[in-house]
A and B are shown apart, each in its own frame.
Chain A
Amino acid sequence: MPDNDEVVYFLMPDGTEVSNDPRYHDEKYREHLLAQMENTGNAVEVRLAGTNEDEDDLDEEDGDETQEIERLSAEALHELTKEQLSAYAKSLKAAGVDFSTRGIKTKEDLINAILAAS
Protein backbone atom coordinates (compact mmCIF):
# COMPACT_ATOMS: atom_id res chain seq x y z
CA MET A 1 0.00 0.00 0.00
CA PRO A 2 1.72 3.22 -1.06
CA ASP A 3 2.16 5.92 1.53
CA ASN A 4 0.08 9.03 1.08
CA ASP A 5 0.11 12.48 2.60
CA GLU A 6 -3.09 12.13 4.60
CA VAL A 7 -2.90 12.68 8.33
CA VAL A 8 -3.07 9.24 9.99
CA TYR A 9 -5.12 8.65 13.10
CA PHE A 10 -6.57 5.58 14.78
CA LEU A 11 -9.64 5.00 16.91
CA MET A 12 -9.94 3.55 20.39
CA PRO A 13 -12.93 1.24 21.03
CA ASP A 14 -14.86 4.14 22.61
CA GLY A 15 -14.41 6.22 19.45
CA THR A 16 -11.63 8.46 20.79
CA GLU A 17 -9.19 9.54 18.09
CA VAL A 18 -5.54 8.78 18.77
CA SER A 19 -2.51 9.30 16.57
CA ASN A 20 1.25 9.14 16.40
CA ASP A 21 1.33 11.43 13.37
CA PRO A 22 2.99 14.71 14.43
CA ARG A 23 0.79 16.63 11.97
CA TYR A 24 -2.34 15.34 13.72
CA HIS A 25 -1.13 16.84 16.99
CA ASP A 26 -0.17 20.09 15.24
CA GLU A 27 -3.71 20.37 13.89
CA LYS A 28 -5.31 19.66 17.24
CA TYR A 29 -2.99 22.13 18.97
CA ARG A 30 -3.84 24.81 16.41
CA GLU A 31 -7.57 24.21 16.96
CA HIS A 32 -7.00 24.41 20.69
CA LEU A 33 -5.06 27.67 20.39
CA LEU A 34 -7.69 29.27 18.16
CA ALA A 35 -10.45 28.27 20.58
CA GLN A 36 -8.44 29.73 23.45
CA MET A 37 -7.81 32.97 21.60
CA GLU A 38 -11.48 33.36 20.78
CA ASN A 39 -12.43 32.73 24.39
CA THR A 40 -10.04 35.34 25.68
CA GLY A 41 -10.93 37.86 22.96
CA ASN A 42 -7.29 38.44 22.14
CA ALA A 43 -7.76 37.72 18.50
CA VAL A 44 -10.77 37.22 16.31
CA GLU A 45 -10.66 35.48 13.00
CA VAL A 46 -12.67 37.62 10.64
CA ARG A 47 -13.78 36.50 7.24
CA LEU A 48 -14.73 39.29 4.88
CA ALA A 49 -16.30 39.38 1.46
CA GLY A 50 -13.64 38.81 -1.15
CA THR A 51 -11.79 36.20 0.90
CA ASN A 52 -14.15 33.33 0.18
CA GLU A 53 -14.96 32.14 -3.30
CA ASP A 54 -18.41 30.81 -2.44
CA GLU A 55 -19.40 34.07 -0.87
CA ASP A 56 -18.00 36.00 -3.81
CA ASP A 57 -20.21 34.01 -6.14
CA LEU A 58 -23.21 34.85 -4.02
CA ASP A 59 -22.21 38.47 -3.97
CA GLU A 60 -21.97 38.50 -7.74
CA GLU A 61 -25.48 37.18 -8.10
CA ASP A 62 -27.03 40.01 -6.20
CA GLY A 63 -24.21 42.46 -6.72
CA ASP A 64 -26.37 45.12 -8.35
CA GLU A 65 -28.56 45.52 -5.32
CA THR A 66 -26.63 48.20 -3.46
CA GLN A 67 -28.28 49.94 -0.56
CA GLU A 68 -27.62 52.72 1.88
CA ILE A 69 -25.93 51.57 5.09
CA GLU A 70 -26.25 53.45 8.32
CA ARG A 71 -22.74 54.38 9.46
CA LEU A 72 -22.01 53.45 13.05
CA SER A 73 -19.87 55.37 15.49
CA ALA A 74 -16.68 53.97 17.03
CA GLU A 75 -18.52 53.36 20.28
CA ALA A 76 -21.32 51.48 18.53
CA LEU A 77 -18.82 49.42 16.59
CA HIS A 78 -17.11 48.35 19.79
CA GLU A 79 -20.40 47.13 21.18
CA LEU A 80 -20.97 44.76 18.26
CA THR A 81 -20.08 41.08 18.56
CA LYS A 82 -17.47 39.75 16.16
CA GLU A 83 -20.21 38.15 14.00
CA GLN A 84 -22.21 41.39 13.90
CA LEU A 85 -19.09 43.36 13.09
CA SER A 86 -18.16 40.96 10.32
CA ALA A 87 -21.66 41.18 8.82
CA TYR A 88 -21.57 44.97 9.08
CA ALA A 89 -18.21 45.12 7.32
CA LYS A 90 -19.54 42.84 4.61
CA SER A 91 -22.59 45.03 4.07
CA LEU A 92 -20.35 48.12 3.86
CA LYS A 93 -18.31 46.44 1.15
CA ALA A 94 -21.47 45.47 -0.69
CA ALA A 95 -22.65 49.07 -0.48
CA GLY A 96 -19.46 50.19 -2.17
CA VAL A 97 -17.57 51.56 0.85
CA ASP A 98 -13.96 50.82 0.08
CA PHE A 99 -11.55 49.92 2.89
CA SER A 100 -8.53 47.66 3.04
CA THR A 101 -8.74 44.35 4.92
CA ARG A 102 -5.07 43.57 4.52
CA GLY A 103 -3.30 42.60 7.74
CA ILE A 104 -6.45 42.59 9.85
CA LYS A 105 -6.15 40.16 12.70
CA THR A 106 -8.15 41.57 15.58
CA LYS A 107 -11.52 43.16 16.12
CA GLU A 108 -9.75 46.43 16.87
CA ASP A 109 -7.96 46.35 13.50
CA LEU A 110 -11.25 45.93 11.70
CA ILE A 111 -12.95 48.76 13.57
CA ASN A 112 -10.03 51.07 12.75
CA ALA A 113 -10.21 50.10 9.08
CA ILE A 114 -13.96 50.81 8.95
CA LEU A 115 -13.56 54.15 10.71
CA ALA A 116 -10.69 55.13 8.41
CA ALA A 117 -12.94 54.55 5.41
CA SER A 118 -15.74 56.72 6.79
Chain B
Amino acid sequence: MADLTLPAWLVGDQQISGREQGFNERADVIVAADGTDLNDFYDEVLKTIRMRNESKNKLINRLSYAVTGAITSVTVPSKLAFEEASEYGQPVGGRAGGIRQFRGYDFTFYDLAFRYTWMFLAEADRAQLEMQHNLALEADQTLVFNRVMKTIYNPINVQGVGDKNEPTTVFKFYNADGEVPPAVGTFTHSGTHSHYLTSGGAQITSANVDTMMDELNHHGYNLQGGYTLVLLVAKQEADRIRAFRTSSGARYDFVPNASLYEGKIWVPNNGQYVGGPQGTVPGEIGTYGAFHVVEDMNIPTGYPFAFASGGNDNLNNPVGIRQHANPAYRGLKIIPGQRSDYPLVDSFYRRGFGTGIRHRGAGVVMQVTTNGSYTVPTIYA
Protein backbone atom coordinates (compact mmCIF):
# COMPACT_ATOMS: atom_id res chain seq x y z
CA MET B 1 0.00 0.00 0.00
CA ALA B 2 1.36 3.41 -0.92
CA ASP B 3 2.32 5.59 2.00
CA LEU B 4 -0.26 8.20 2.78
CA THR B 5 0.48 11.41 4.57
CA LEU B 6 -2.41 12.45 6.76
CA PRO B 7 -3.04 15.95 8.03
CA ALA B 8 -2.03 16.51 11.64
CA TRP B 9 -5.57 17.33 12.76
CA LEU B 10 -6.65 13.90 11.58
CA VAL B 11 -3.95 11.82 13.17
CA GLY B 12 -2.82 13.95 16.10
CA ASP B 13 -3.52 13.14 19.71
CA GLN B 14 -5.69 16.08 20.52
CA GLN B 15 -6.61 16.83 24.10
CA ILE B 16 -10.06 15.79 25.22
CA SER B 17 -12.35 18.79 25.23
CA GLY B 18 -15.41 19.39 27.39
CA ARG B 19 -17.87 18.03 24.86
CA GLU B 20 -16.13 14.65 25.02
CA GLN B 21 -16.88 14.13 28.69
CA GLY B 22 -20.06 13.35 30.66
CA PHE B 23 -23.11 11.20 29.98
CA ASN B 24 -24.27 10.09 26.56
CA GLU B 25 -27.89 11.16 26.63
CA ARG B 26 -30.77 10.94 24.19
CA ALA B 27 -29.89 14.31 22.68
CA ASP B 28 -26.50 12.89 21.63
CA VAL B 29 -28.07 10.32 19.32
CA ILE B 30 -27.04 11.29 15.82
CA VAL B 31 -29.81 11.29 13.23
CA ALA B 32 -29.35 11.77 9.54
CA ALA B 33 -31.55 14.79 9.06
CA ASP B 34 -29.79 15.71 5.82
CA GLY B 35 -30.17 12.24 4.36
CA THR B 36 -26.58 11.15 5.00
CA ASP B 37 -26.17 7.42 5.19
CA LEU B 38 -25.14 6.92 8.82
CA ASN B 39 -23.43 3.63 8.02
CA ASP B 40 -21.14 5.44 5.58
CA PHE B 41 -20.48 8.10 8.16
CA TYR B 42 -19.41 5.61 10.83
CA ASP B 43 -17.44 3.54 8.33
CA GLU B 44 -15.40 6.65 7.63
CA VAL B 45 -14.85 7.30 11.33
CA LEU B 46 -13.71 3.72 11.88
CA LYS B 47 -11.32 3.84 8.93
CA THR B 48 -9.79 7.03 10.30
CA ILE B 49 -9.25 5.40 13.67
CA ARG B 50 -7.64 2.39 12.01
CA MET B 51 -5.29 4.66 10.08
CA ARG B 52 -4.31 6.46 13.26
CA ASN B 53 -3.54 3.21 14.99
CA GLU B 54 -1.70 1.50 12.20
CA SER B 55 1.60 3.33 12.46
CA LYS B 56 1.61 3.21 16.26
CA ASN B 57 0.93 -0.53 16.29
CA LYS B 58 3.72 -1.30 13.88
CA LEU B 59 6.13 0.78 15.87
CA ILE B 60 5.25 -0.74 19.22
CA ASN B 61 5.43 -4.30 17.87
CA ARG B 62 8.91 -3.69 16.50
CA LEU B 63 10.07 -2.15 19.74
CA SER B 64 8.60 -4.35 22.40
CA TYR B 65 8.26 -7.82 23.85
CA ALA B 66 5.48 -8.90 26.23
CA VAL B 67 6.59 -10.10 29.67
CA THR B 68 4.50 -11.21 32.64
CA GLY B 69 6.89 -10.90 35.58
CA ALA B 70 7.80 -7.86 37.65
CA ILE B 71 11.42 -8.68 37.00
CA THR B 72 13.01 -10.63 34.19
CA SER B 73 16.63 -11.46 33.63
CA VAL B 74 18.58 -10.80 30.48
CA THR B 75 21.59 -13.07 30.19
CA VAL B 76 24.95 -12.19 28.74
CA PRO B 77 27.14 -15.28 28.19
CA SER B 78 30.44 -15.37 30.04
CA LYS B 79 33.72 -15.96 28.28
CA LEU B 80 36.44 -18.56 28.78
CA ALA B 81 39.99 -18.43 27.49
CA PHE B 82 42.70 -21.01 26.98
CA GLU B 83 46.05 -20.40 28.58
CA GLU B 84 49.46 -21.57 27.53
CA ALA B 85 50.16 -25.00 28.97
CA SER B 86 53.07 -25.50 31.36
CA GLU B 87 54.95 -28.75 31.62
CA TYR B 88 54.10 -29.45 35.27
CA GLY B 89 51.17 -27.28 36.30
CA GLN B 90 47.46 -27.63 35.98
CA PRO B 91 45.39 -25.13 34.02
CA VAL B 92 43.08 -22.72 35.84
CA GLY B 93 39.59 -24.21 36.18
CA GLY B 94 36.89 -22.62 34.06
CA ARG B 95 33.45 -21.84 35.46
CA ALA B 96 31.15 -21.20 32.55
CA GLY B 97 27.91 -19.40 33.10
CA GLY B 98 26.51 -16.04 32.25
CA ILE B 99 25.93 -12.59 33.64
CA ARG B 100 22.30 -12.23 34.60
CA GLN B 101 21.12 -8.69 34.45
CA PHE B 102 17.78 -8.13 36.13
CA ARG B 103 15.33 -5.80 34.47
CA GLY B 104 12.31 -4.44 36.33
CA TYR B 105 8.99 -3.19 35.03
CA ASP B 106 6.44 -0.97 36.66
CA PHE B 107 2.74 -1.74 36.55
CA THR B 108 -0.35 0.46 36.66
CA PHE B 109 -4.05 -0.07 36.03
CA TYR B 110 -5.79 2.49 33.83
CA ASP B 111 -9.49 2.83 33.15
CA LEU B 112 -11.90 4.77 31.00
CA ALA B 113 -15.69 4.93 31.40
CA PHE B 114 -18.50 5.57 28.97
CA ARG B 115 -21.73 6.57 30.66
CA TYR B 116 -24.98 6.10 28.79
CA THR B 117 -28.50 6.89 29.81
CA TRP B 118 -31.00 4.14 29.07
CA MET B 119 -32.76 6.48 26.68
CA PHE B 120 -29.55 6.95 24.70
CA LEU B 121 -29.17 3.19 24.43
CA ALA B 122 -32.80 2.86 23.39
CA GLU B 123 -32.41 5.35 20.56
CA ALA B 124 -28.79 5.00 19.48
CA ASP B 125 -27.80 3.15 16.38
CA ARG B 126 -25.43 0.18 16.75
CA ALA B 127 -22.91 2.02 14.60
CA GLN B 128 -22.79 4.91 17.05
CA LEU B 129 -22.06 2.53 19.92
CA GLU B 130 -19.36 0.87 17.85
CA MET B 131 -17.78 4.23 17.26
CA GLN B 132 -17.60 4.88 21.01
CA HIS B 133 -16.04 1.47 21.47
CA ASN B 134 -13.47 2.13 18.78
CA LEU B 135 -12.58 5.46 20.34
CA ALA B 136 -11.85 3.52 23.52
CA LEU B 137 -9.61 1.16 21.56
CA GLU B 138 -7.76 4.10 20.11
CA ALA B 139 -7.33 5.67 23.56
CA ASP B 140 -5.91 2.35 24.74
CA GLN B 141 -3.34 2.24 21.96
CA THR B 142 -2.39 5.84 22.57
CA LEU B 143 -1.89 5.01 26.24
CA VAL B 144 0.43 2.09 25.51
CA PHE B 145 2.28 4.06 22.86
CA ASN B 146 2.86 7.07 25.10
CA ARG B 147 4.05 4.89 27.97
CA VAL B 148 6.56 3.14 25.72
CA MET B 149 7.76 6.48 24.34
CA LYS B 150 8.18 7.91 27.84
CA THR B 151 10.21 4.86 28.78
CA ILE B 152 12.44 5.53 25.80
CA TYR B 153 12.84 9.29 25.94
CA ASN B 154 13.07 9.87 29.70
CA PRO B 155 16.48 8.61 30.87
CA ILE B 156 15.77 8.56 34.59
CA ASN B 157 15.44 5.14 36.20
CA VAL B 158 12.23 4.80 38.19
CA GLN B 159 10.94 2.53 40.91
CA GLY B 160 8.33 0.00 39.99
CA VAL B 161 6.38 -2.23 42.36
CA GLY B 162 6.34 -5.97 41.99
CA ASP B 163 3.44 -8.36 42.58
CA LYS B 164 4.19 -8.58 46.31
CA ASN B 165 4.91 -4.86 46.66
CA GLU B 166 8.64 -5.42 46.43
CA PRO B 167 10.37 -2.43 44.82
CA THR B 168 12.04 -2.98 41.49
CA THR B 169 14.23 -0.65 39.48
CA VAL B 170 12.87 0.14 36.06
CA PHE B 171 15.92 0.77 33.93
CA LYS B 172 16.20 2.94 30.86
CA PHE B 173 18.79 2.71 28.09
CA TYR B 174 22.34 3.07 29.44
CA ASN B 175 22.23 6.32 31.38
CA ALA B 176 25.44 6.57 33.43
CA ASP B 177 23.84 4.91 36.47
CA GLY B 178 26.97 2.90 37.23
CA GLU B 179 26.04 -0.31 35.40
CA VAL B 180 28.99 -1.31 33.27
CA PRO B 181 27.87 -2.68 29.90
CA PRO B 182 29.37 -6.08 29.06
CA ALA B 183 32.40 -5.99 26.80
CA VAL B 184 31.74 -6.97 23.20
CA GLY B 185 34.78 -7.86 21.12
CA THR B 186 37.34 -5.15 21.68
CA PHE B 187 34.78 -2.68 22.97
CA THR B 188 34.71 -2.02 26.69
CA HIS B 189 32.69 0.59 28.53
CA SER B 190 32.47 2.27 31.91
CA GLY B 191 29.67 2.92 34.37
CA THR B 192 29.19 6.41 32.92
CA HIS B 193 28.20 5.03 29.54
CA SER B 194 25.14 6.87 28.26
CA HIS B 195 22.85 6.32 25.31
CA TYR B 196 21.20 9.72 25.71
CA LEU B 197 23.34 11.91 23.51
CA THR B 198 23.36 15.42 22.16
CA SER B 199 24.39 16.21 18.59
CA GLY B 200 26.59 19.24 19.29
CA GLY B 201 25.02 21.12 16.37
CA ALA B 202 21.73 22.79 15.54
CA GLN B 203 21.05 20.36 12.68
CA ILE B 204 21.54 16.64 12.38
CA THR B 205 24.65 15.57 10.46
CA SER B 206 25.73 12.27 8.94
CA ALA B 207 28.37 12.03 11.68
CA ASN B 208 25.57 12.15 14.28
CA VAL B 209 23.78 9.25 12.60
CA ASP B 210 27.09 7.36 12.32
CA THR B 211 27.58 7.85 16.06
CA MET B 212 24.15 6.39 16.78
CA MET B 213 24.94 3.40 14.59
CA ASP B 214 28.27 2.90 16.36
CA GLU B 215 26.55 3.05 19.75
CA LEU B 216 24.36 0.08 18.78
CA ASN B 217 27.17 -1.72 17.00
CA HIS B 218 29.62 -1.71 19.88
CA HIS B 219 27.12 -3.53 22.08
CA GLY B 220 26.72 -6.25 19.47
CA TYR B 221 23.42 -5.02 18.04
CA ASN B 222 24.18 -5.17 14.34
CA LEU B 223 23.15 -6.82 11.09
CA GLN B 224 25.58 -9.69 11.66
CA GLY B 225 23.84 -10.39 14.96
CA GLY B 226 20.53 -10.81 13.16
CA TYR B 227 19.10 -7.46 14.20
CA THR B 228 17.30 -4.93 12.10
CA LEU B 229 18.54 -1.44 12.86
CA VAL B 230 15.84 1.21 12.68
CA LEU B 231 16.26 4.96 12.88
CA LEU B 232 13.07 6.83 13.76
CA VAL B 233 13.05 10.51 12.93
CA ALA B 234 10.69 13.43 12.60
CA LYS B 235 10.22 15.19 9.28
CA GLN B 236 12.86 17.84 10.02
CA GLU B 237 15.61 15.24 10.44
CA ALA B 238 14.27 13.05 7.61
CA ASP B 239 14.65 15.93 5.17
CA ARG B 240 18.31 16.33 6.17
CA ILE B 241 19.07 12.59 6.08
CA ARG B 242 17.65 12.31 2.54
CA ALA B 243 20.58 14.48 1.39
CA PHE B 244 23.38 12.38 2.98
CA ARG B 245 25.86 11.29 0.30
CA THR B 246 29.39 9.90 0.46
CA SER B 247 30.34 12.57 -2.09
CA SER B 248 29.61 15.19 0.56
CA GLY B 249 31.51 13.42 3.33
CA ALA B 250 28.91 10.98 4.69
CA ARG B 251 29.94 7.43 5.53
CA TYR B 252 27.10 6.00 3.40
CA ASP B 253 24.70 7.16 0.71
CA PHE B 254 21.07 7.56 1.65
CA VAL B 255 19.15 5.17 -0.60
CA PRO B 256 15.46 5.99 -0.98
CA ASN B 257 12.90 3.28 -0.40
CA ALA B 258 12.28 1.61 -3.74
CA SER B 259 8.53 1.63 -3.25
CA LEU B 260 8.60 5.41 -3.16
CA TYR B 261 10.15 5.37 -6.66
CA GLU B 262 8.08 3.84 -9.41
CA GLY B 263 11.18 2.48 -11.18
CA LYS B 264 12.25 0.60 -7.99
CA ILE B 265 15.90 1.37 -8.68
CA TRP B 266 18.16 4.12 -7.59
CA VAL B 267 20.85 5.89 -9.57
CA PRO B 268 23.37 7.56 -7.31
CA ASN B 269 25.45 10.64 -8.11
CA ASN B 270 28.13 8.79 -10.06
CA GLY B 271 25.61 7.47 -12.53
CA GLN B 272 26.18 3.77 -11.79
CA TYR B 273 23.18 1.53 -12.08
CA VAL B 274 22.47 -0.21 -8.81
CA GLY B 275 19.64 -2.14 -7.26
CA GLY B 276 17.90 -0.84 -4.14
CA PRO B 277 18.42 -2.40 -0.69
CA GLN B 278 16.33 -5.45 0.04
CA GLY B 279 13.68 -5.58 2.73
CA THR B 280 11.95 -2.64 4.29
CA VAL B 281 10.31 -1.90 7.61
CA PRO B 282 6.89 -0.21 7.77
CA GLY B 283 7.06 3.52 7.15
CA GLU B 284 10.59 3.38 5.78
CA ILE B 285 11.71 6.31 3.64
CA GLY B 286 15.05 4.72 2.76
CA THR B 287 18.26 3.33 4.19
CA TYR B 288 21.42 4.92 5.46
CA GLY B 289 24.07 2.25 5.94
CA ALA B 290 22.52 -0.41 8.17
CA PHE B 291 19.72 1.90 9.29
CA HIS B 292 16.22 1.62 7.97
CA VAL B 293 15.18 5.25 8.25
CA VAL B 294 11.55 5.70 9.25
CA GLU B 295 9.87 9.08 9.28
CA ASP B 296 7.16 9.06 11.90
CA MET B 297 4.98 11.88 13.10
CA ASN B 298 4.95 10.50 16.65
CA ILE B 299 8.68 11.16 17.01
CA PRO B 300 9.42 14.61 18.47
CA THR B 301 11.28 16.99 16.18
CA GLY B 302 14.97 17.11 17.04
CA TYR B 303 14.99 13.72 18.82
CA PRO B 304 16.04 10.92 16.46
CA PHE B 305 15.85 7.49 18.06
CA ALA B 306 17.73 4.42 16.87
CA PHE B 307 17.06 0.89 18.01
CA ALA B 308 17.86 -2.70 17.19
CA SER B 309 14.84 -4.88 16.61
CA GLY B 310 14.64 -8.65 16.50
CA GLY B 311 11.22 -8.53 14.83
CA ASN B 312 7.62 -8.21 15.94
CA ASP B 313 7.14 -9.01 19.65
CA ASN B 314 10.62 -10.53 19.65
CA LEU B 315 12.64 -11.51 22.71
CA ASN B 316 15.49 -9.33 21.47
CA ASN B 317 13.43 -6.14 21.26
CA PRO B 318 14.58 -3.38 23.61
CA VAL B 319 11.35 -2.56 25.46
CA GLY B 320 9.44 -4.95 27.70
CA ILE B 321 5.69 -4.48 28.16
CA ARG B 322 4.67 -6.10 31.40
CA GLN B 323 1.27 -7.72 31.63
CA HIS B 324 -0.45 -9.03 34.73
CA ALA B 325 0.61 -12.46 35.95
CA ASN B 326 -3.07 -13.51 35.98
CA PRO B 327 -4.23 -13.99 32.37
CA ALA B 328 -7.69 -12.68 33.32
CA TYR B 329 -6.21 -9.20 33.87
CA ARG B 330 -4.17 -9.02 30.67
CA GLY B 331 -4.97 -6.75 27.76
CA LEU B 332 -7.84 -4.31 27.41
CA LYS B 333 -10.93 -5.46 29.31
CA ILE B 334 -14.44 -4.12 29.25
CA ILE B 335 -16.10 -4.37 32.65
CA PRO B 336 -19.92 -4.48 32.47
CA GLY B 337 -22.06 -2.24 34.66
CA GLN B 338 -24.27 -3.45 37.52
CA ARG B 339 -27.61 -3.24 35.72
CA SER B 340 -28.29 -6.54 34.03
CA ASP B 341 -30.85 -5.03 31.63
CA TYR B 342 -28.43 -2.33 30.52
CA PRO B 343 -24.89 -3.63 31.19
CA LEU B 344 -23.43 -0.87 29.03
CA VAL B 345 -24.84 1.91 31.21
CA ASP B 346 -22.05 1.92 33.79
CA SER B 347 -19.47 -0.10 31.92
CA PHE B 348 -15.85 0.86 31.75
CA TYR B 349 -12.63 -0.17 30.03
CA ARG B 350 -9.59 -1.28 31.99
CA ARG B 351 -5.99 -1.90 30.99
CA GLY B 352 -3.17 -2.88 33.34
CA PHE B 353 0.39 -2.87 32.10
CA GLY B 354 3.89 -1.57 32.73
CA THR B 355 7.02 -0.89 30.76
CA GLY B 356 10.78 -1.10 31.16
CA ILE B 357 13.90 -1.44 29.05
CA ARG B 358 15.15 -5.02 28.64
CA HIS B 359 18.18 -4.47 26.41
CA ARG B 360 19.83 -1.30 27.64
CA GLY B 361 22.29 -1.07 24.78
CA ALA B 362 19.74 -1.68 22.03
CA GLY B 363 18.49 1.89 21.78
CA VAL B 364 20.05 5.33 21.41
CA VAL B 365 18.34 8.70 21.69
CA MET B 366 20.03 11.82 20.41
CA GLN B 367 18.84 15.36 20.98
CA VAL B 368 19.76 17.69 18.13
CA THR B 369 21.08 20.65 20.07
CA THR B 370 24.23 22.61 20.73
CA ASN B 371 23.65 22.11 24.46
CA GLY B 372 25.93 19.54 26.09
CA SER B 373 23.24 17.98 28.28
CA TYR B 374 20.31 15.92 27.02
CA THR B 375 16.92 17.50 27.73
CA VAL B 376 13.87 15.23 27.96
CA PRO B 377 11.30 16.20 25.28
CA THR B 378 8.24 17.84 26.80
CA ILE B 379 5.76 15.50 25.12
CA TYR B 380 7.35 12.38 26.64
CA ALA B 381 8.67 13.80 29.94
Bound: A21/B190 CA distance, A:
12
| Contact residues in A for B242 (Cβ distance below 8 Å) | none
A residues near B381, Cβ cutoff 8 Å: 12-13
Interface membership of A22, Cβ < 8 A: yes
Chain B residue at minimal CB-CB distance from A9: B373
Nearest-Cβ distance from residue A25 to partner chain B, whole angstroms = 10
Interface of A is mostly: loop
The reply to whether the CB of A19 lies closer than 8 angstroms to some CB of chain B is yes
Given known contacts A8-B192, A10-B156, A1 and B211 CB-to-CB distance under 8 angstroms: yes
Cβ of B155 and Cβ of A20 under 8 Å apart? yes
Q: Give chain A residues whose Cβ lies under 8 Å from the Cβ of B211.
A: 1
Q: Is A58 an interface residue (CB 8 A)?
A: no
Query: Smallest Cβ distance from A110 to chain B, in angstroms?
Result: 39
Task: Indicate if the CB atoms of A13 and B192 lie closer than 8 Å.
Answer: no
B365 shortest CB reach to chain A, Å: 10
Given A3-B190, A20-B176, CB of A11 within 8 Å of CB of B157: no
B192–A5 touching, CB < 8 Å = yes
Chain A residues within an 8 Å CB radius of B177: 20-22
Report yes or no: B156 in contact with A20, Cβ–Cβ below 8 A. Answer: yes
Q: Closest residue to B171 on the A side, CB-wise? A: A20
Q: A6 within 8 Å of B by Cβ? A: yes
Q: How far is the CA of A57 from the CA of B194 in the complex (A)?
A: 41
Which residue of A is nearest B215, CB measured?
A1
> Are the C-beta atoms of A10 and B196 separated by less than 8 Å?
yes
Is B156 touching A18 in the complex (CB atoms < 8 A)?
A: yes
Tell me if B376 is interfacial: C-beta within 8 Å of chain A: yes
The smallest C-beta distance from B241 to any residue of chain A, in angstroms, reads 19
Q: Is B355 an interface residue (CB 8 A)?
A: no
Judge whether B52 is part of the interface by a CB distance below 8 angstroms: no
Is B193 an interface residue when CB atoms closer than 8 A count as contact?
yes
- Which residue of chain B lies nearest to A11 when distances are taken between CB atoms in the complex? B375
With an 8 A cutoff between CB atoms, is B368 at the interface?
A: no
Q: Which residue of B lies closest to A17 (CB)?
A: B373
Q: Which residues of A contact B176 (CB under 8 A)?
A: 8, 19-21
Most B CB contacts (10 A, CB to CB) among A3, A4, A21 go to A3
Minimum CB–CB distance from B186 to chain A (whole Å) comes to: 13
Known A3-B189, A3-B192, A21-B176; contact A13-B157, beta-carbon cutoff 8 A: no
Contact yes or no, A11 B374, CB < 8 A: yes
Q: Residues of A contacting B377 with CB < 8 Å?
A: 13
Q: For residue B155, which residues in chain A have a CB less than 8 angstroms away from its CB?
A: 10, 18, 20
Contacts of A19 in B (CB 8 A): 156, 176
Interface residues in B, total, Cβ within 8 A: 26
* Complex alpha-carbon distance, A13 and B175, angstroms: 18
- B212, closest chain A residue (CB): A1
How far, in whole Å, are A1 and B156 apart by their CA atoms in the complex? Answer: 20
CB of B232 to closest CB in A, whole Å: 20
With A3-B190, A4-B192, A21-B177 as known contacts, state yes or no: A13 contacts B156, CB within 8 Å. no
Residue of A nearest to B193 (CB): A3
Interface contact B374-A10, CB-CB below 8 Å: yes
CB of B36 within 8 Å of the partner chain: no
Contacts of A9 in B (CB 8 A): 373
**A residues 1-47 with Cβ under 8 Å of B?**
1, 3-6, 8-13, 18-22
With CB as the reference atom, state the residue of chain A lying closest to B214.
A1
The residue in chain A whose Cβ has the minimal distance to the Cβ of B211 is A1
Q: Write the nearest CB–CB distance from B187 to chain A, whole angstroms.
A: 10
CB contacts (< 8 Å) of B196 on chain A: these are: 10
Chain B 355-381 residues near chain A, CB threshold 8 A: 371, 373-378, 381
Q: Which residue of the partner chain, among A4, A10, A13, A22, contacts B373 with CB atoms under 8 Å?
A: A10
Shortest distance between the CB of B184 and any CB in chain A (Å): 14
Decide: B375 and A10 in contact? CB cutoff 8 A: yes
- 19 A–B contact pairs at CB < 8 A? A1-B214, A3-B190, A6-B192, A8-B192, A8-B194, A10-B373, A10-B376, A12-B375, A12-B376, A12-B381, A13-B377, A13-B381, A18-B156, A19-B156, A19-B176, A20-B156, A20-B157, A20-B177, A21-B192
Residues on B lying within 8 angstroms of A by beta carbon are 155-157, 172, 175-178, 189-190, 192-194, 196-197, 211, 214-215, 371, 373-378, 381
Closest 4 A/B residue pairs (Cβ): A20-B177, A8-B176, A11-B375, A13-B378
Apart from A1-B214, A5-B192, A20-B178, 18 more pairs, CB < 8 Å: A1-B211, A3-B193, A6-B192, A8-B176, A8-B192, A10-B175, A10-B374, A11-B374, A12-B375, A12-B376, A18-B155, A18-B156, A20-B157, A20-B172, A20-B176, A21-B177, A22-B177, A22-B178
